[in-house]
Amino acid sequence: MKKRIVFYKKISLFLLSVFILFSSCTKMKTIDGKTQGTTYHIVLEQGNILKPLPRISKFQIDSVLADFDLSLSSYDTNSIISRINRNDSSVLLDAHFVEVLECSFEVYEATIGIFDITVAPLVNAWGFGPEDGQGNDSLTIDSLMQFVGMNKLRISDGFLVKDSDGIKLDVNAVAQGYSVDVVGCFLEENGINNYLVEIGGEVRARGRKSNGNSWRVGIDKPYENNFAPGADLQEILILNDMSLATSGNYRKFYIKDGVKYSHSIDPGTGYPVMDRLLSVTIVSAECIYADAYATACMIMGLEESLKLVNSIEMLEAYFVYSGDSGDFRVKYTDGFEKFIYRDEEGMR
């Protein structure tokens, strides 16, 4: 009788061990789709028997992003930003728009006007916006400069007030990063604390992967025609509860009469930036700030960007620039070192 009891105890302990093993294994789910003229990729925890979690569907993610587009997509004619750019004075700002506007004002002040979402007329003139450009001769650019400057904007009773009807907004330098935060916050509100959200190369990572390891994210090498993200990496980074955004001129540019024009427009001159800086990767807690500051750094250039990032506690930066012989060179802030992945032998 005692032997049988001992036998049953062993079986019970074995089954309990198996139950704990399988119930403690958190599975991960992947959701992919398209948004904002690009793609998104999401990896999130699904939970287990001991920790049940809501089942997040692609439909839910697409709904969150569709709501975002109704506020900030310049390609949606019914969005708030499109209506503002058409000078529709009846449009009331929503929470998404206010969040992006407040961040933009903050970065505008920190960069002394280098980051400026009123550059839309210039972006369109140079052929990088949703509207047909008016041409980019010097007279046209000079005439458009009167509509540039975030000091010409203000919020009043939930409405955006512009000093002139000629002022138009372009939030592409900040909205995509913010959309990553929006999706991440949606997941967290539903109890998902281990996830990675990537939209168009901008990333937000929280918690860890199912095996307990940190999330790894790659930085693409910034050379022309490197259009396949992840195919040729400059660096691999480790992200724990951080966000990342990269800005560069190696994908968005055109060549006319032998001159290369980048999509980074300097609001102080009205002209595309021509600099040896090839790409900037910013790591911050929130992707909205990483996106905005990465854009600002591409306009400011290497040395000024280093000064800026070192003066802001919440930011770290990784710069790839062209050397005198055309080779790739790298410089990064002191705090960025901890994000660079190295194998067991300490090699990158």
Contacts of 16 (CB under 8 A, 6+ apart): none
- Does residue 7 register a pLDDT over 70? no
Distance CA 67, CA 96 (A): 9
**Is the pLDDT assigned to residue 60 strictly greater than 90?**
yes
Residue 215 in tokens: 């999330």
Cα gap 178→37, rounded to integer Å: 15
**Ordered domains of the chain (ranges, CATH):** 81-162 (1.10.3980.10)
Confidence at 42, pLDDT banded by 50, 70, 90: very high
Average pLDDT estimate for 285-295: 97
pLDDT higher than threshold 70 for residue 217: yes
Quote the pLDDT of residue 116.
97
Dihedral (Cα; 202, 207, 208, 213), 10-degree rounding? 100
What pTM did the predictor assign? 0.86
- The neighbour count for residue 286, using CB atoms within 10 Å, is 19
Write the pLDDT tens digit of every residue in 123-161: 888 777 666 555 677 898 999 999 999 999 999 999 999
In a 3-state reduction of DSSP, which class is residue 74?
coil
pLDDT of res. 207: 95
**pLDDT band, very low/low/confident/very high, at 25 (cuts 50, 70, 90):** low
Give the pLDDT confidence score for residue 134 in this predicted structure.
Answer: 58
Q: Is the pLDDT of residue 17 over 70?
A: no
- What integer pLDDT is reported at residue 123 of this predicted model? 87
Percent of the residues in the chain that have a pLDDT greater than 70, as a whole number? 80
pLDDT of residue 154: 95
Query: Per residue in 178-196, pLDDT tens?
Result: 999 999 999 999 999 999 9
Query: How much is the pLDDT for 222?
Result: 76
The mean pLDDT of the chain is 85
**What share of residues in the chain are helix, strand, coil (percent, to 5)?**
35, 25, 35
- pLDDT (average), residues 14-31: 58
pLDDT for residue 327? 78
